[in-house]
Structure 1
Amino acid sequence: MGDWIINLLTGESVPAGSEWRLSFEGLSPGWAVVLFIALSAGAIAGYVLYAKDVPKHWQRVMMALRIVLIGLVLLLLTKPVVHMTINEPVRQNLLVLVDTSSSMLLGDRRVSLDDQKRAALAAGTIDPAQGLKQSFSGPLPPELAGANRWDVLARVNANEKLRLWERLQEKSNLSFYRFGRDAVTLGVMEPAGGRRQLDKADISSFFQDIRPTDSATGIGEGMRQVLEQNRGQAIAGMLVITDGANNSGLPPGEAARIALEQNIPLFIYGIGVTTPADLIVQELSAPKLAFVKQRVDVKFKLRAQGFTGRQIVATLKSGNKVLAEEKVVILQDGEQEVALHFTPQELGDLTLEASVPALPEEVAKENNKATAKMRVVDNKIHVLFIDQEPRWDYRYLLFYLQHSPKIDVKTYLIDGEPDLDKMPDSVFLQKLPDNRESLFKYELLILGDVDPKSLGENRMKLIREWVEQSSGGIIFLAGTKYNPIAYAGTPLEELLPVVPDATVGKEAYAARSRSQVSLRLTTIGASSPYLQLSEKPEENQTLWASFPGVRWTAAVSRAKPGAQVLMVDPRPERAGRDGALPVFATQSYGSGETVYIGTDETYRWRSKVGVKHYAQVWDLVMQSLSLQRLQGASSRTQLKVDRQRYFVGDKVVISGKVYNDRYEPLTNSSLQGNVKIATRAPDGKVSETQQRLDIMASGDGASPAGGASGTPVSASATTAGEYRGELTVKVPGEYSFSTLQDPGAVLKFEVVEPKLEQMETAMDERLMKSTAAAGRGRFLREEDLYTLPGMITDQSATVATFRKVNLFYSLWWLVAIVFIASLEWLMRRLLALK
């Protein structure tokens, strides 16, 4: 009934399924009712009092006309409007994401019968409706037996028995996106020439210019970006076509949960085989420093698939020179560690390359080698170890130092037995160094739980000068009596990366807990060279989690502003106002580096975890702390990068301190310098380019054409002499950066092309299944594609639109008012009424 009235007053039809409501924008309906009652009563009274001679039936007719007229006028004054909600059907979009990373060009050897059937299903040589249940005599033709993943997708596109895209287009609009590291819109696949249905030519034309060339795969990131672009649209579902080799961006599971929140069905079509034959060399682990004519042990992880029982030869080279070879028997599918060793005969920088031969059956041959940088020096690390008494940490650590071929250690026990220095081949000193000559010959100083009174004011100042001006490295190995609590107010306090807590009493400071607590790596510590037991973050965390806990950590107030906290005591009761209690922290001081270890129970790592990891931890600490001095680093310019190898497109952070020739912090607002890039051509020829790189504090960073773009390295507002900047590297090569004020201080790092796509050659079925499960979607293989269109809803979605219709603008109001008023006037004239 209401739809008919709206249609009459407005001349517009109300669409089926629409909703409407009436409202008023003029006179209040309540007042209109009051006025209607009053005016109607007046009209009735007027006719009763002044039209007594008129017959009763005519009197009632005129009363009714007058009341209707009053009602119409008052209704018009209320300005009635209708708010309509119109639900209109629209055609939904199916979002199709196609993986265009270079791993899609990997050819797969299809050994299993199911994988052979899948290739045949894609090509249409067997019935796609029967899936894997049908028989297949084989063998596959050569063009299918080793077809790469992109070829398989091309055959799916052209499969006239499957007609995948034609049938999907009948249900929804097909909106395509390609993705590597990010998603890129390809457009809508639609019939040409105004036709209603797709044909083979439409599909071929759409895919002809798409090539899998991206260097990374960001499945989750691509999904997130596409979902964001289509937020609020009518979506029938999302179809992701990929081999699952995710190596960039947002985890796919998180993107799947976003799709679930938006109520978008998720379908993931996995292309490839789960067990491709391949050998992958990864994680070549070699020390950053080695000593000439001393054995160097390196190792790498070899991941094998499909070559169980095969014997191969692993090779270690530097340039064209073979350093070591080792026969390796592949025990089983999975990872195994391969160890190699060699003895460097010459000084200098080496680029080590570990490799295994590329076998004909492999799916990828570019991932059979890995490289690492190493510097060969001819001097050992000279270490001075001072402690008050022979506590457990002292004994274990001294044993390690004495037996390390890289270290020449001397030690002094303040409360030790007399005449220790007179023993044969003794490492004990007769007295503490007390002048520059005797102290400055050491690279490292390990300071145990030493009473500062035993050192004396002058010796502590000498230690501070040695760190600041001679690139010395000092390790504060905490103890329950003096270190670090007794160093407050002494010259050593400046060297500490932490602030001692002077409010703690001696007994409370030395008290040990009854239970052990596992120390926790911070985010910075997990990637720090000091604590990096494995290049894989997850494995590094696992290794540190296996270390036994400690029962005592030194109470400190907080870390200093310039310090980096690498490890903490996670107990809430030990936390301070700045967070968890620091246990392992580092800081730069002048040209040197200081390390704080806030427990005296590192010996537990050796007794529980074993000599291997105990020695590995201290090797890392010793090498990292002495690296700058052994590499001949400048004592004035101490810029550094956070790692030695970057991928093209990475952002390189340059940071550190700079001093003038008087070893005073530099206060300039900018640093000027050069960046040199040495690139190697395919024929092995090396070319070098140099670009002026003025890294300004003003924000106008130069962008050298050679492959780096810069942002300011500006003087810090909080600490004089500290500088920080960023470079975005664009070409692979050996990079060297130096400032014009100190050109001898060269900062080196390497930039390589990422080979992420060659490191994961198997189709990651597990990842894709878990992603589909996170979004309550479906994981599909070739045998499922025939039923995919049936999974996509063919119901049209509805989109609500809102309209306001002004009923008081209708011509019918005027017609009704004029008609009723005229009719009443005519009756009054005929009945001789005024």
Structure 2
Amino acid sequence: MFKKLVESYLGVSPAEPGQGTAWKVSFHPPWPADWPSWCVLSLFVALIAFVVVISLRDSSALPRKIRVLLLCLRLLSLGVVALFLTGLSLSVERTGLPFAVVMIDDSASMGLVDRYQQEDDRSAIASLVGKQQVESVTRLELAKALLTHDDGQFLKRLQQNHKVRLYRFSDAPVLMGSGESVGPEAIDRLLPEITELEPHGDVTRPGPALKKVLDDLRGTPPAAIILLTDGIASAAAADKLTVVAPEALRRLVPVYCVGLGSSEPVRDLQLFDMLSTDVAFVDDPIDFSAKLKAYGLEGREARLELRRKDDAQVLASETVRIPADGRSLRVDLTFAPTDDGEFDFVLNAAIIPDAKQRARETNLSNNSEVRHVSIRRQKIRVLLADSIPRYEFRFVKHLLERDKTIELHTILQEADLEFSSEDQTALPYFPVKRGELYQHDVIILGDVDPAQLNSGTFDDLRDFVREAGGGLILIAGESFNPTSYRGTPIETMIPVELDRVERPDPASAESERFYPRLTLEGQKGTTIFRFSTDADENRNIWSALPELRWMLRAPALKSGAVVFLEHPSRSGSEGNLPVIAMQRYGAGKVLFHATDELHRWRYRAGDRYYARYWIQAIRYLSRSRLLGRSRAAELTTDRVTYERGEMVSMRLRFFDERLIPSNEEPVNVVVEGRNERQRIVTLAGTAGVEGVFEGMLRRAGPGTYHAWVSSPTFEGTPPSANFRIEAPVQELRIRSLARTELKQTADVTHGGLFRPANCEQLPDVVPAGFSVPLNLEAPIPIWNRWELLVLFVAAVCGEWFLRKRFRLV
């Protein structure tokens, strides 16, 4: 009211219906504009203080009330003078109410009838359509009842703080009515049009429809968008609401979703993400892990069985209870092979029928996964060399001697002459001939003195890794390894820069105690540090491992090297100091230990984790030489059959690590289809998974396709895969309410998801939004108003009269 009175007094024309005004005050002071505010304020405060002191001093003999009155008149006159000097003016800006958009889904799926299970939903629906209609009301009829109930009170309540725009959509949004709805009469005109809506849309694209509305209101973003829909995107995943939700968030537009329909999912059991080792050994247990997810089957039991392809014999099995809808359950099965060869293992999941014989699942195509495993009978040949029998040498030697999958040879440079004859694993000297060296799969170099090696040994070691795909482990020592290898042919393949390596002070060993920390690469990029198949248990094991006391400081890594284990606090030029690092070199790999104290992990645990690490590390490094498989790589798609508009997910997995391309070399897949132009899909490396590249084919038409790898090149036939894209069975193929989709959209945009039970509260929840600026009228000068002049004269005269009365002048 005060605002309207002031505007009327200043001659501002009244606002029209649906409009408002905003005030903007401006100043034009006489002092320089570059004066800081604190300086002006300080001067003003000092002036007031001076005036107060002088006034109180001059009137000290007067009664208190008179003294205060004189002071107020003096300050009033000064305040008016200040207004004169500041050039105060008022600008009145015309504003309009913000938009609130309501979008009604009129696609064919909105013609479905649902049976709502929650009693509060049923009660709310009965209040809208009547009790007899609860079991037969369609989704669109429920939406129309919500908007038209009680003469459109839902829209009229929304209209109190907004201009309402109403759209219907299935594919593209269509504006209903005249556009902006201001006043109850406009809502009354919309109600018949809402009542006539029918679910005729043959495709639902809620994401693009939302994007189109946002673009239409780009200049004046709405305060909120209300969606009355089942959330189904029947054309493609790219049409989902969650794809456009970040754009709505960027424009600060919350989306409120009213979910119409039942979210009860179709009964379906899915098996995915099956993992196993690529190479295994006879009588060595193989862990097969996979994830199980189901819909509509919570509490039921499922049986998982592992078989060889084309063989009915069950190798391993497990029965599990199916978790809640959409929650994944990790399942692990173990099998120890007795035969060597190349085998495809099939893991299959099936529902166990219960006493009630409830409906079985309809989609069985996602119930099994296949993995190829090369099972070898020959042992891994390991050469372990050191200058003296350090603790690490002794413990590694003993555990490898006991392992049936390892054929061990050892060398001690400082051993006496009888050592090689008394120890069955001992060799009299380091292999001189290249052929002798190449008889091994993995070489472990301890603190070996290079002066006691043949002049061509380092060349052979380099070629053993680079050309033959062998594995090399370097264990740092206090005398030679790795600093004495500077300038040798193997320097280039050591993961750390040798010219920056520092040896710690032996006297400070006790004060250097530390607990090494696994990096992300150590957790996800390799299995050599996996002491348990359960991630939480593995973390607990690592947190309980004994501390280490000595390590070489290697602050700089080679380009391409990765750190698996790092110092928890000490850092170098590229992050925390590496404790264990790896570098791929040619066809093989090099693993560098900056410490020789991993044997401390044996404290209280014996060889349980210490041996597991060494065996897994040796197998990891020997994989390239032991692969022995005809397939160098495999190209797969996530499904065989797709519907038009769906993205085809492609995965290329290299089994031969020597063929994994470098970061600079592209991985391209050529896709060929009948009556379709040839297309090239570039695959990118999968983070945390070595040798796996993934990519997507988008917007391909119906037909049969053949995909093959064009880069890198392969000897013989390149990896390939076939798939088919079919024209979709539109709209009604998905019937369940996409509750998760709606919830994510609401959460991302800071809106809300409402059910029939509480959707009538929505107009009270929608934010009022910000007024929309329309036009700015000319500034009204305030500083030269006659009212201020009168006030100034009155204050001066009043003060003069009082001073005259009490003989102060």
Q: TM-score, normalised by structure 1?
A: 0.59
Q: Which amino acid counterpart does residue 581 of structure 1 have in structure 2?
A: L
Alpha-carbon shift at residue 442 of structure 1 (Å): 1.6
CA distance 1:413–1:275, change in 2 (3 Å): farther
* Mapped partners of 1:322, 1:728: distance in 2: 35
SS of corresponding position for 2:97: strand
The match for 1:744 among 691, 703, 715 is 715
Paired residues of 1:92 and 1:234 also in contact (CA < 8 A):
no
Deviation at 1:440, TM superposition (A): 0.9
AA of the residue aligned to 1:314: L
Q: 1:261 to 1:18 in 2, by over 3 A?
A: closer
* 1:190 and 2:176 correspond: yes
One-letter amino acid of the counterpart of residue 428, structure 1 = A
Match of 2:97 in 1: 89
Aligned pair count reads 653
Q: Name which of structure 1's ranges 464-473 and 448-457 shifts more when overlaid on structure 2.
A: 448-457
Residues 443-454 of structure 1 mapped to structure 2, 5 A cutoff: 443-454=441-452
- The whole-number CA distance in structure 1 between the counterparts of 2:212 and 2:394 is 57
8 A Cα contact 2:344 2:370, kept in partner: no
- Aligned counterparts of 2:601 and 2:217: Cα–Cα separation in 1: 54
Compared with structure 1, are the counterparts of its residues 611 and 535 closer, same or farther at alpha carbon in structure 2 (3 Å cutoff)?
Answer: closer
Q: Is the 8 A contact 1:267 1:778 kept in 2?
A: yes
SS in 2 for 1:787: helix
Q: Cα 1:333–1:457, aligned 2, differ >3 Å: closer, same or farther?
A: same
CA distance, structure 1, for counterparts of residue 263 and residue 463 of structure 2: 63
2:758 paired with 1:784: yes
Q: 1:630 and 2:617 equivalent? A: no
How far apart, in 2, do the equivalents of 1:789 and 1:763 lie? Answer: 23
Mapped to 2, the partners of 1:393 and 1:429 lie a distance apart of 19
Q: Are the counterparts in 2 of residues 191 and 197 from structure 1 also a CA contact under 8 Å?
A: no
Q: Aligned AA for 1:783? A: A
Is it true that 1:386 corresponds to 2:399 in the alignment? no
1:555, CA displacement in angstroms? 0.6
User: Where does residue 279 of structure 2 map in the other structure?
Assistant: 289
- The residue number in structure 2 matching 1:696 is none
Unmatched 5+ stretches in structure 2: 29-88, 159-163, 180-185, 354-358, 640-646, 686-691, 726-734, 781-809
Q: Is the CA contact (8 Å cut-off) linking 1:3 and 1:14 kept in structure 2?
A: no
Match of residue 580 from structure 1: 576
- Partner of residue 801, structure 1: 774
Shift of 1:243: 8.8
Provide the rounded CA distance (Å) in 2 between the counterparts of 1:231 and 1:457.
75
Of 280-289 and 223-232, the range deviating more from structure 2: 223-232
Distance across 1 between alignment mates of 2:267 and 2:498: 58
Deviation at 1:207, TM superposition (A): 5.0
Match of 2:349 among 355, 358, 383: 355
Tell me what 2:526 maps to: 529
Cross-structure match for 1:236? 223
Alpha-carbon displacement from aligned partner over 1:646-670 (angstroms, at most 9, x marks no partner): 99346979999999xxxxx99xxx9
| Cα pair distance change 1:94/1:511, threshold 3 Å | farther
Report if aligned partners of 1:97, 1:239 keep a CA contact under 8 Å in 2.
Answer: no
Letter in 1 for 2:173: G
The 1:787–1:21 alpha-carbon spacing in structure 2 relative to 1, beyond 3 Å, is closer
The CA deviation at 1:476 is 1.7
Secondary structure, counterpart of 2:95 in structure 1: strand
Q: Distance in 2 between matches of 1:526 and 1:244?
A: 38
Deviation at 1:675, TM superposition (A): 5.7
* Letter matched to residue 449 of structure 1: D
CA contact (8 A) 2:384 2:443 kept: yes
1:443 positional shift: 2.0
Q: 1:98 to 1:286 in 2, by over 3 A?
A: farther
Equivalent-residue separation in structure 2 for 1:97 and 1:569 (angstroms) = 57
Match of residue 520 from structure 1: 518
For the residue of structure 2 that corresponds to 1:553, the secondary structure is coil
* Correspondence list, 1:544-563, <5 A: 546=543, 548=545, 550-563=548-561
**Residue type matched to 1:511 in 2?**
A
Q: Is 1:155 aligned to residue 139 of structure 2?
A: yes
| C-alpha separation in 2, matches of 1:674 and 1:256 | 31
C-alpha distance in structure 2 between counterparts of 1:409 and 1:313, whole Å:
42
Secondary structure (helix, strand or coil) at the match of 1:315 reads: strand
Shift of 1:602: 3.4
Give distance in 1, aligned partners of 2:25 and 2:302.
84
Q: In structure 2, what is the equivalent of residue 322 of structure 1?
A: 312
2:566 alignment partner in structure 1: 568
1:648 alignment counterpart: 648
Segments of 5+ residues of structure 1 without an aligned counterpart are 26-80, 145-151, 179-184, 213-218, 660-664, 678-688, 692-703, 714-723, 755-760, 808-834
Q: Quick one: distance in 2 between partners of 1:644 and 1:598?
A: 42
Output the amino acid matched with 2:766: I
- After superposition, the Cα gap between the structure-2 partners of 1:769 and 1:739, relative to the gap in structure 1 and judged at 3 Å, is closer
Q: How far off its partner does 1:435 sit?
A: 1.0
Instruction: Provide the rounded CA distance (Å) in 2 between the counterparts of 1:251 and 1:210.
Output: 11
Q: What code does the residue aligned with 1:388 have?
A: S
* Paired amino acid for 2:552: A
Counterpart position of 1:709: 681
Cα deviation, residue 393, structure 1 = 3.6
Quote how far apart the aligned CAs of 1:288 are.
Answer: 0.9
- Contact 2:709/2:720 (CA < 8 Å) preserved in 1? yes
Q: 2:786 corresponds to which residue?
A: none
User: What aligned pairs does 1:270-419 form with structure 2 within 5 A after superposition?
Assistant: 279-291=269-281, 296-302=286-292, 312-322=302-312, 324-330=314-320, 333=323, 335=329, 337-341=331-335, 343=337, 345=339, 347-348=341-342, 350=344, 352-357=346-351, 360=359, 367-377=366-376, 379-404=378-403, 406-415=405-414, 419=418
Which secondary structure state, in structure 2, belongs to the residue aligned with residue 582 of structure 1? strand
**Structure 1 residues 512 and 441, CA gap change in structure 2 (3 angstroms):** farther
Instruction: Give the drift of 1:313.
Output: 3.8
Residues 227-262 of structure 1: CA deviation (Å, up to 9, x unaligned):
8997764433355778999x999999x989995994
Correspondence for 1:814? none
Q: Which amino acid is the alignment partner of residue 373 of structure 2?
A: M
1:441 CA drift (Å): 1.6
> In the alignment, is the contact (CA less than 8 A) between 2:563 and 2:580 conserved in 1?
yes
Q: Which moved more, 1:778-787 or 1:283-292?
A: 778-787
Q: Compute the displacement of 1:499 (Å).
A: 0.9
Q: What code does the residue aligned with 1:343 have?
A: P
Q: Is the 8 A contact 1:467 1:590 kept in 2?
A: yes
1:589 equivalent to 2:585? Answer yes
Asked whether the equivalents of residues 516 and 566 of structure 2 are also in contact (C-alpha less than 8 Å), the reply is no
Paired AA for residue 497 in structure 1? P
Which whole-Å deviations, capped at 9, do the CAs of 1:443-485 have from their partners, x for residues lacking one? 2212223333343543223212322232222122334443323
RMSD value, Cα: 6.4
1:381-530 map, 5 Å: 381-404=380-403, 406-415=405-414, 419=418, 421-422=420-421, 426-500=424-498, 502=500, 504-505=502-503, 507=505, 511=509, 513-522=511-520, 524-530=521-527
CA contact (8 A) 1:709 1:728 kept: yes
Distance (whole Å) between structure 2 residues aligned to residue 476 and residue 392 of structure 1:
15
SS of the equivalent of 2:771 reads strand
Structure 1 residues 468-515: Cα deviation after superposition (integer angstroms, max 9, x where no partner): 232222122334443323322333322201113556355269835454
Change (3 A) 1:202 1:308: closer
Residue pair 2:649, 2:696 contacting (<8 A) in 1 also: yes
2: CA distance between counterparts of 1:244 and 1:607?
58
CA distance in 1, matches of 2:24, 2:210: 40
CA distance in 1, matches of 2:693, 2:299: 51
Deviation at 1:167, TM superposition (A): 6.6
Q: What do residues 739-796 of structure 1 show as CA deviations (whole Å, max 9, x unaligned)? A: 56xx428875989999xxxxxx999999998997897755544432343344336x68
**Does structure 2 retain, via aligned residues, the 8 Å contact 1:381–1:406?**
yes
